[in-house]
Amino acid sequence: MSLELRGITKTFGSLTANDSINLRVETGQIHAILGENGAGKSTLMNIVYGLLKADNGQIFVDEKLIDISEPSDALDAGIGMVHQHFMLIPVFTVAENIVLGHEKTKRLGVLDISTARDAIKRVSKDFGFEVDPDAIVETLPVGIQQKVEIIRALIYDAKVLILDEPTAVLTPQETDELLNTMQELKRKGTSIIFITHKLREVRAVADQITIIRRGKVVAAVSPTTPEGELASMMVGRAVDLAPEKHKHVVGDPILVAKDLTVRDALGTAVVKAVNFHVNAGEVLAIAGVQGNGQSELARALVNLEDHIEGSISLNGKEIRGSSIYDSLHAGIAFIPESRELDGLVSSFSIAENLILDLHDQAPYAKGLNLSANIVLSEAEKRVAEFDIRLQSVNDAVSTLSGGNKQKVVIARELSRPIKVLIASQPTRGLDVGSIEFVHERILAERDQGRGVILFSTELDEVMALADRIAVMYRGEILEIVDSGVTREELGLLMAGVVSKKASA
């Protein structure tokens, strides 16, 4: 089935989110839509799926004009969508989730689950999925939950499948698996609209790439286009995908972890007796597939975890067991994994968020008094220095885009005297321009002689920034390798395979 959009225009107030967009998806084609956050990709897809109504423009399915004013129209026309945030009920089984909204009943109003169960098994077999229809959704890994969404679309006869940023929540392995699934779907004749801002994935699977910038189609290119070119078209200027790393002198160890064990509330060790150190002026990356203890280790280094054993020393001084407050003020900058949950108070203003961990320090505080004037004037300085795009520092931080939110966190953490920077997934969910900025700041800290510990599940990021790489697997550090390591070697380590020649 082919899908064609002609002249789709959508405005929100003075903002033109989509400006007469033309797009054609052929039968059995994987069509990637590439663009930064806020470029208008999601708006466009929500129009196709009937969640938004276009101001102008037409949608054709198999050359026939159709009117889509709500999702059921889209479903009827054979358009299915897998949202970035899954629309599943966590405590329901897979089968129950799939019948949701299409409940068929047997006699006496008994819900007919078995038909759905059979359908799931059939679709799973056709496409090589391994999904248990009776599993409770919340017990499934994210990658499988996504498959449940895909199965749901397929069962209701989607011939065009929209995948909205499907890899944002996936581990590298799950991502590879999804890309395979997409190839399989394509082989069976399903058309796919693949929305993303990740260049490597696009080049791996797409047949055709449409690049959207500020609501307009700026280019339609083939997947053989080099990454650098794709990125500059997306951002609208030349971007540096591999930031330049200056040669420089590495200093003495600043932060040393010895036999560090972290336990969860049930007493299970999630980080198992790890040993590592970071030197002044180097980036130590802690790589690994999500969920191998990195999050807990990052939090433990600033004493945010409750059950920590072993030793953490900063400049030779033991800091394990001190409070998070003392850890931060001993000179650790901490960029938490989730900026929304841990990094920012979303209802607070930008100025207030910039002093979240500094509000009781000079110059902001004099005794009990918090000086509103100094808070504002300092905020203006941070905003200028870190190029945070905003209307007013008095606006709630929730009004900012993801990249600018992360800049607020980074500006706050780097604006006090620090010795070590601990950054946990600092570019997750950010667009190319923002990632470039974050990378530059991280390397700048390194060049100024600070120790940087970078927790990242993104292989590209690890390869680009790290001086040394520690790979975590099931709570242990398998190996610490030099940055000369290849992608393949790292991939193997992340899968738990230890190489024979251990280094560094």
Binding site for another protein (CB under 8 A): 304, 323-325, 327-329, 334, 336, 341-348, 352, 356-357, 359-360, 364-365, 368-370, 372
Nearest to 243 by CA among 408, 440, 48: 440
Question: Could you tell me the smallest distance in angstroms from the CB atom of residue 212 to another protein?
Answer: 29
Residue with tokens 């966190």: 409
Query: Which residue lies nearer to another protein by CB, 164 or 352?
Result: 352
Question: Could you tell me the smallest distance in angstroms from the CB atom of residue 408 to another protein?
Answer: 12
DSSP letter string, 80-118: EEE-SS----TTSBHHHHHHTTS--B-GGG-B--HHHHH
Query: Which residue lies nearer to another protein by CB, 187 or 359?
Result: 359
Distance between CA 39 and CA 218 in Å, rounded? 11
Query: Which residue lies nearer to another protein by CB, 238 or 368?
Result: 368
Query: Which residue lies nearer to another protein by CB, 340 or 387?
Result: 340
Question: Could you tell me the smallest distance in angstroms from the CB atom of residue 311 to another protein?
Answer: 21
Question: Could you tell me the smallest distance in angstroms from the CB atom of residue 283 to another protein?
Answer: 22
Distance between CA 47 and CA 69 in Å, rounded? 8
Distance between CA 38 and CA 433 in Å, rounded? 12
Question: Could you tell me the smallest distance in angstroms from the CB atom of residue 42 to another protein?
Answer: 22
Cβ(476)–Cβ(262) under 8 Å? Answer: no
Question: Could you tell me the smallest distance in angstroms from the CB atom of residue 426 to another protein?
Answer: 14
Query: Which residue lies nearer to another protein by CB, 347 or 392?
Result: 347
Query: Which residue lies nearer to another protein by CB, 171 or 425?
Result: 425
Distance between CA 159 and CA 395 in Å, rounded? 44
Distance between CA 126 and CA 143 in Å, rounded? 18
Pinpoint the alpha helices (H) of 279-371: 294-301, 324-329, 350-353
DSSP state of 330: T
Query: 60-68: which pairs have CB atoms within 8 A and are 24 or more residues apart?
Result: 60/2, 60/3, 60/4, 60/5, 60/6, 61/1, 61/2, 61/3, 61/4, 61/160, 62/1, 62/2, 63/2, 63/4
Query: Which residue lies nearer to another protein by CB, 15 or 495?
Result: 15
Question: Could you tell me the smallest distance in angstroms from the CB atom of residue 361 to another protein?
Answer: 9
Question: Could you tell me the smallest distance in angstroms from the CB atom of residue 341 to another protein?
Answer: 5
Question: Could you tell me the smallest distance in angstroms from the CB atom of residue 275 to another protein?
Answer: 26
Using CA atoms of 102, 107, 111, 114 in order, give the dihedral in degrees to the nearest 10. -90
Distances (CA, A) of 469 to 272, 452, 464, 494: 18, 12, 11, 11
Query: Which residue lies nearer to another protein by CB, 344 or 421?
Result: 344
Query: Which residue lies nearer to another protein by CB, 145 or 327?
Result: 327
Distances (CA, A) of 330 to 260, 294, 343, 407: 19, 22, 19, 22
Query: Which residue lies nearer to another protein by CB, 372 or 495?
Result: 372
Q: Is 504 exposed, middle or buried (0-12, 13-18, 19+ CB in 10 A)?
A: exposed
Cβ(221)–Cβ(35) under 8 Å? Answer: no
Output the six-digit token pair for 110.
């008994």
Distance from first CA to last CA of the chain, Å, rounded?
55
Q: For every residue of 160-180, which 3-state class applies, written as one string?
A: EEEEECCCCCCCHHHHHHHHH
Compute φ and ψ for 483, nearest 5 degrees: -70, -10
Question: Could you tell me the smallest distance in angstroms from the CB atom of residue 373 to another protein?
Answer: 12
The DSSP bridge partners found for residue 288 are none
Query: Which residue lies nearer to another protein by CB, 168 or 304?
Result: 304
Question: Could you tell me the smallest distance in angstroms from the CB atom of residue 357 to another protein?
Answer: 4
